[in-house]
Structure 1
Amino acid sequence: MFPLWKLVLLCGLLTGTSASLIEDLENEVLEKLKALLEKRIETSDSTLQALLQKLVDDLKALEESKSQANAFQMIQDVKTLLEEELSEIFQVVYKVTGLNIRNVHILDISVTSDGKRLSLSIPINADISYTLPLLGKVVDLGLNLDLQATVSAETDDTTGDVTVVVECTSDQDSISLTVLNRRIALINKAVDAAVNFVRQVLSLAVEYAVCPVLQTLIGLLDANYVQDLIDWFPGA
């Protein structure tokens, strides 16, 4: 039986002051998470530094060979490194928000070229558990996130220098969350509110952690090598 005190609390949560209190609390958590993620990228911890150094070493060999086969191997290296880094990022998310994001997997990365830039589609799957504030009920979610990025070699009109430009999309519409347990109909609205909160957390994680890491990894490429990749990869 659903306890009477929780039913009363739930009514307040969904219709009145309690909902506002929860929203204020979640906003505070989101601001704290944003600050920590920004600081983490700025300080670039030892784990990330080790990953970056490994990729730098790999890229030196790949750039010397200039082969498409090695370009695809580079993609696999980025996939592995990004997957490891995601797990680290989601540990930070858990400590701040209580969102338990586990079983993180990056599926096959697809790369196409329009002759001017590379377009990357990076599908990410994970399982999420979140305990509803005050109610104590655990909501299990399935995550599907399609991270989109473009890579180009841009020439400065003034200096003539060629640089690698990486743009990463953190649109919330790319975040798909599936509720795996709706056994208690009375808290469906609370579950929906939790899903919205989870979506905001993930959007912050992508914008302030995942995208910067991806931009850093790909930004290590030589601009001329990027142009070679643009020329080599099949069209969209």
Structure 2
Amino acid sequence: MRLSGRGDVAVVAILAAYGTLVLATFWDSPYFAALLLLPPPIVLGLILGDPRMAAAMGLSGSILGPLTEMACVAGGLWTYANTGGLPYVPPWNFPIWACFPPAVWLLTRALLGTDVTITSSPRALPLALAGIGAEIAIFVSLGMNPPLALAGGAALAAAVIFAFRERATLAMMGTGALLGPICESLPIAAGAWWYAAPVDLFGMPAYMILAYSIFGGLVGHASKAVGALLAGGDYFPP
């Protein structure tokens, strides 16, 4: 199901609003919230236009997002009010992260047009995974000192841009910085989770906006690499 660029943006915006409202309303019923959040990644996959690419991106997000969050929760950066008995993260964490890569790529497609390649060099996936590891290390170790966390994050962001010298990298980082804080603000205000460091913007430390930007670029490239392996071809689904 191929939409226009404006259509892609509209779908992502509607689903982001839906997911935000679900979490703000049902965070204390984590399994019910997880059930309500199953449709959005399916819808995003349909809009993406290639079933194998959609599956690869959803799977990448549902693995990398929760694993990263588990490391950050274990490192004391934030705490969930109700995990439903699971360690570190609630069950809705998995479907919500399955939405992230396809949403980032749909917004990137809307910004840059259809000229967004899915071919990926052999080094892309290990570079992206190494970057995610570095991001976890920087923010977990420096998270209680926001100025140092911002400095370390800025250095990593520059390294990501240098390593993946594509227009899509900047677009993905921008959309990540936008999606994350907007979708977090209302659930945080409702009490779904809280941060250990002093909060500045949207109920979170300011460095989280940079963290989302970096993660958007890295997960975007990781999911693209996995998708290119599974889907093949020389172009992002037109």
Shorter-normalised TM-score: what interval?
Answer: 0.3 to 0.5
Task: Indicate the structure with greater helix content.
Answer: 2
TM-score using structure 2 length = 0.36
> Rg larger in 1 or in 2?
1
Q: Could you state the TM-score of these two structures normalised by the residue count of structure 1?
A: 0.36
Structure showing the higher strand proportion among its residues? 1
